[in-house]
Amino acid sequence: MVPDLRARLRSGDFLLGTWLTILDPIVPELLAGGGFDLFIADGEHGAVGTDHLVAMVIATRAAGVPVLYRVGANEPVRIMHALDAGAAGVVVPQVRSPADVERAVAWCRYPPTGLRGVAPRRVSGYGRGTAAYLKAANDAVTCCAQIETREAMDALDEIFAVPGLDTVLIGPNDLAASLGHLGEPTHPVVEAAIDRVLERGSAAGIPVGAWTGSPTQARQRRAQGFAWATISSDYGFMVAAGDATVREVREG
């Protein structure tokens, strides 16, 4: 059974995650020892497929770090593949309407609440724990919608009112582009939109997360009242550490 990420998101503790894009499962296994609360494996802009996701989930199981999967599109097969593989939930990008969220939620839940097909396989211990998994799954799977479009901003209250939505993640880069500020994720207009998402989510009782690019920014989001944040990525950490090491040697 996947860790109860939904409960942790509502616990009041600030959770910190990062993005998985490198396909070798040794990378998330290595990062899982560093104290992260969650990972997001990227199947939208990254090349993480279901087979890679399975390896990542296995690699992080011992450390108890849940892995969400950002699907490439809001489609039932992609969502069900991720959940059956053992992901703690899914992150659905490019949400534009309450109907988009309703569709994602439906494919994350078994009937009668939703439409998810019944074939848990790996996530049920390959059939050894099917009954227990089916009983608990609807209360354990995390459905996260990304708020990153102008259309979503125009329908925030309706989106937050969709039953079964567990959390949202703000994508500042796409949000900036959608608001007419491509490449300017810290533009005042974008920051104002981010503040509004947090305010409306808090009013609705929905935990709000944000992508951040640095420890300073992550601390700022925590101070603002965000429930969680992602910071950088597996390759981002490698680039930063590698570049800093080379500079230190050459300039020292």
pLDDT at residue 4, as a whole number: 85
pLDDT at residue 3, as a whole number: 53
Q: Which residues form the catalytic set?
A: 45
The residues near 82 (Cβ < 8 Å, ≥ 6 apart) are: 43, 50, 53, 69, 71, 90
Residue 211's CATH number: 3.20.20.60
pLDDT at residue 220, as a whole number: 97
Q: What is the residue range of 100's domain?
A: 5-251
pLDDT tens track for 195-244: 999 999 999 999 999 999 999 999 999 999 999 999 999 999 999 999 99
Q: What gap in Å lies between CA 107 and CA 79, rounded to an integer?
A: 7
pLDDT at residue 1, as a whole number: 43
pLDDT at residue 2, as a whole number: 46
pLDDT tens track for 149-171: 999 999 999 999 999 999 999 99
* HEC-encoded secondary structure of 109-136: CCCCCCCCCCCCHHHHCCCCCHHHHHHH
Return the number of other C-beta atoms located less than 10 Å from residue 222's C-beta. Answer: 17
pLDDT at residue 67, as a whole number: 98
Per-residue pLDDT of the chain (252 residues; tens, 9 = 90+): 445 899 999 999 999 999 999 999 999 999 999 999 999 999 999 999 999 999 999 999 999 999 999 999 999 999 999 999 999 999 999 999 999 999 999 999 999 999 999 999 999 999 999 999 999 999 999 999 999 999 999 999 999 999 999 999 999 999 999 999 999 999 999 999 999 999 999 999 999 999 999 999 999 999 999 999 999 999 999 999 999 999 999 997
Assess contact for 90 and 69: CB atoms under 8 A.
yes
Q: What gap in Å lies between CA 43 and CA 40, rounded to an integer?
A: 9
> How many domains, in total, are found in the chain?
1
pTM greater than 0.85? yes
